[in-house]
Amino acid sequence: MSISSCIAIRADVDIITARQRGRDLGVELGFPKTDLALIATAISELARNILTYAGEGEIEIALEDVGGRRGLVIVARDQGPGIADLALALQDGYSTSRSLGIGLPGVRRLMDEFDVVSEPGSGTVVKATKWQ
Amino acid sequence: MSISSCIAIRADVDIITARQRGRDLGVELGFPKTDLALIATAISELARNILTYAGEGEIEIALEDVGGRRGLVIVARDQGPGIADLALALQDGYSTSRSLGIGLPGVRRLMDEFDVVSEPGSGTVVKATKWQ
Amino acid sequence: MSIPILKHGRTLIVSLQSEPTDAEFVELQHELAQRVTTTHANGVLIDVTALEVLDSFATRTLREIGQTVTLCGARAAIVGVQPEVAFAMAQLGLSLDGMLTALDLEEGLALLHAQPGVGVVT
Amino acid sequence: MSIPILKHGRTLIVSLQSEPTDAEFVELQHELAQRVTTTHANGVLIDVTALEVLDSFATRTLREIGQTVTLCGARAAIVGVQPEVAFAMAQLGLSLDGMLTALDLEEGLALLHAQPGVGVVT
Ligand SMILES: Nc1ncnc2c1ncn2[C@@H]1O[C@H](COP(=O)(O)OP(=O)(O)O)[C@@H](O)[C@H]1O
Ligand SMILES: Nc1ncnc2c1ncn2[C@@H]1O[C@H](COP(=O)(O)OP(=O)(O)O)[C@@H](O)[C@H]1O
């Protein structure tokens, strides 16, 4: 069983590859169909943010096992411009592009755990976990 | 081939002249039909803002060539009151007139590059580019 | 009035041939409301096939025309929006929400006549 | 164009078989607006049965397709949204507000034909 997978995000096809990979790992771990859709959607939003705001980066998908409790972890990582005002970026409807502005707050709702580390100039790391 | 054109905006007919001129230059440059409509619409919004908020000003339409990559540039320039809160003015639905408030954010969506320089008291310059 | 309004049965038809100025659009709005009442029309068709741009002002005015005409007891439909124009409007964030739309004059007439209260009286 | 558009009477049918890229979605939007006008279609059905994800970009584009097609004078319906996909969309905060939706192609066709002005003219 593959326990970790890393997908470089450089073009829009990579978004599809990344969410497909997330789905596959979710299936291996035995996640129900509803969770698979939530995971794939979350990956899609994070991968598109990398492409839109940082130009390129990577999505890592891994199995986490904390005292027998298993989860699927998505880590979205880029060396882009970072997010100046995180509180604002996490608000529904806030967007600095022509987009809907529900990516980050939406992913937070889709997943069980959600964490962003970002500083202007030093890129962005988003970590989101779905427990089984 | 004309590479630059400047239209004074003083009355509502000038809006039509300006967008027609933008279309013509776009045709000369070989832009596809869809882009011509986007360019003409962007010019229309910017020219009307000049008329509504500054009373008068000008629209410059020019060809830009950056290392062989060609684009059409719209510059809307006025000596009007300027925009006090740019972040607010760029939000969908914000308007200080009885208008729809989607001019500026809309033009940003229509074009590839978009830039506003404005200070209260010293007028407004909007620059928007469509790449080929 | 520079924009001609034709009458076909109980439908008023406006074919916008060249790009109207803002002032002409507003004049059209007044004029149509008057005409609906005086001529007892129950439908208004506005043909925008020839227009290469429908910006936020034009769109707002068309929507207001739809509302005005409806208040006067008729129905209005916009016909002939070109695909590039529709695409640009959608990008700008504009729609003709709440208005009837059709491909061309013929279909617009059929659509108006399919509206309750419009088709019955001819 | 990588996504095929079929014509059935006056309805254009798009069956999204594999997940389209962002670029393909935008191309579809252009293409459908053109086709509605050139083929005189009055309805557009987009079948998303095969899609496992409809994220914010896809949803926004589908909504824009609905607006564009409506502006051109036709009606668009989305059919086959899977229950898991619908659930994820709702969690994300997305809806297809303002669009027609149906279970499958057959019901979608019936729904389009029940729209005023779509069913009458064939
Ligand atoms: N990877 C990233 N790098 C830099 N900025 C980002 C990144 N992801 C999100 N942002 C910022 O946070 C804002 C909100 O993001 P999101 O909620 O996903 O909405 P949207 O992508 O639709 O704008 C974005 O508009 C952007 O300014
Ligand atoms: N050229 C300008 N000069 C001064 N203020 C402007 C100018 N253009 C836009 N603004 C300000 O920005 C706001 C938003 O503009 P816009 O998005 O085009 O919407 P609208 O014109 O419909 O109000 C305007 O209401 C106005 O207050």
Reported as a single tens digit per residue, the pLDDT across A73-85 is 999 999 999 998 9
| D93 chain-A contacts, CB cut-off 8 A | 92, 102, 105-106, 109
pLDDT at A1: 45
Are B107 and B92 contacting, i.e. CB atoms less than 8 angstroms apart? no
User: Helical H runs in chain C?
Assistant: 22-39, 56-71, 83-92, 105-113
Reported as a single tens digit per residue, the pLDDT across D54-80 is 999 999 999 999 999 999 999 999 999
Q: Which of A100, A108, A112, A130 would you mutate first to test chain D, the one with the most D CBs within 10 A?
A: A100
Structure tokens at A96: 């600095």
> Ligand 2: which atom is nearest the Cα of residue B123?
3
Q: Is C104 on the interface with B (CB under 8 A)?
A: no
pLDDT at A9: 97
The label of the residue with tokens 């970072």 reads A82
pLDDT at D121: 41
State pTM to two decimals: 0.86
Find, in chain D, the residue whose alpha carbon is nearest to that of A45. D55
pLDDT at B2: 52
Q: Which helix (H) or strand (E) holds B90?
A: none
B49-61 CB burial, b ≥16 within 10 A, e <16: bbbbbbeebbbbb
Whether ipTM > 0.85 holds is: no
- Would you say residue B1 has pLDDT above 70? no
Q: Which residue has the higher pLDDT, B41 or C18?
A: B41
Mean pLDDT of chain A, nearest integer: 93
For residue D45, how far is its CA from the centre of ligand 2 (angstroms)? 38
For ligand 2, is residue B49 a contact (CB within 6 Å)?
yes
| B48 chain-C contacts, CB cut-off 8 A | 22, 55-57
Are C18 and C51 contacting, i.e. CB atoms less than 8 angstroms apart? no
Residue % of chain A over a pLDDT of 90 = 80
SS3 B26: helix
CA gap D26, D65 in Å, rounded? 9
Structure tokens at B82: 């300027």
DSSP code of residue D43: E
For ligand 2, atom 14, name the residue with the nearest CA: B89
By C-alpha distance, which of C22, D71, C112, D73 is closest to B50? Answer: C22
Are A75 and A90 contacting, i.e. CB atoms less than 8 angstroms apart? no
pLDDT < 50 positions in chain D:
120-122
Pocket test for ligand 1, best of A96, A109, A126 (most atoms within 8 A of CB): A96
